[in-house]
Structure 1
Amino acid sequence: MSNATLAAFTEPDRPKNLLIRFITVGGSYVDVTGPGEHSDENRWNCRGCGESSQLPEGDFLFCIRPDANSHAANCRAIPLR
């Protein structure tokens, strides 16, 4: 395996408020960040394609976990950094 291929699958630094990290089918990551389970200020963001949570509020962890996981299962964007 070349170094370029290895670099593409190197896990990026974890933000201090990271709650969950999903790996996408393209080898990138979807990070769920925020204060925690009982907060409506949690968000998910894809490090591959840049898509993120769509709700301006009401992002309780039990609500956005399935959306972040579904996005990771379908996103084919590869990590560029």
Structure 2
Amino acid sequence: MTTTVRTSAFTEPDRPKNLQIRYLNQVGAHVDVTGSGEHAENNRWKCHGCKDTSRSPETDWLFWMREKASAHASACRAIPLT
């Protein structure tokens, strides 16, 4: 039995100092969740492939961001162009 580890085909973007979580989308582009952490309202996600981002800054608690960023990464097939 072989265990395969999926790696990104793209250069990893710089890690911001407030990076909480980093996902890979379907083709290896990075989706970052940044902010102050679990009990903060300033958490955001951003896709480095399609450039989509979270839209509700007043309710961006980390437990919501995990779910939203993971769902986006699972569906997105955009590659980073820069």
Tell me whether the two structures share a fold, i.e. TM-score over 0.5.
yes
Give secondary structure in 1 for the equivalent of 2:57.
coil
TM-score, L = length of structure 1: 0.85
Mapped partners of 2:13, 2:55: distance in 1: 23
After TM superposition, the structure 1 = structure 2 runs for residues 43-58 of structure 1, keeping only pairs within 5 Å, are: 43-58=44-59
Mapped partners of 2:57, 2:43: distance in 1: 10
Report the Cα offset of residue 61 of structure 1.
0.4
Gaps of 5+ in 2: 1-7
Is 1:10 the equivalent of 2:11?
Answer: yes
Report the Cα offset of residue 8 of structure 1.
4.5
Give secondary structure in 1 for the equivalent of 2:31.
strand
Aligned residue pairs, count: 75
Mapped partners of 1:30, 1:18: distance in 2: 11
Mapped partners of 2:68, 2:44: distance in 1: 10
Is 1:38 the equivalent of 2:27?
Answer: no
Segments of 4+ moved more than 4 angstroms: none
Mapped partners of 1:19, 1:48: distance in 2: 18
Determine the structure 2 residue equivalent to 1:73.
74
User: Residue type matched to 1:52 in 2?
Assistant: T
Instruction: Tell which has more relative contact order, 1 or 2 (C-alpha 8 A, sep 6+).
Output: 1
Gaps of 5+ in 1: 1-6
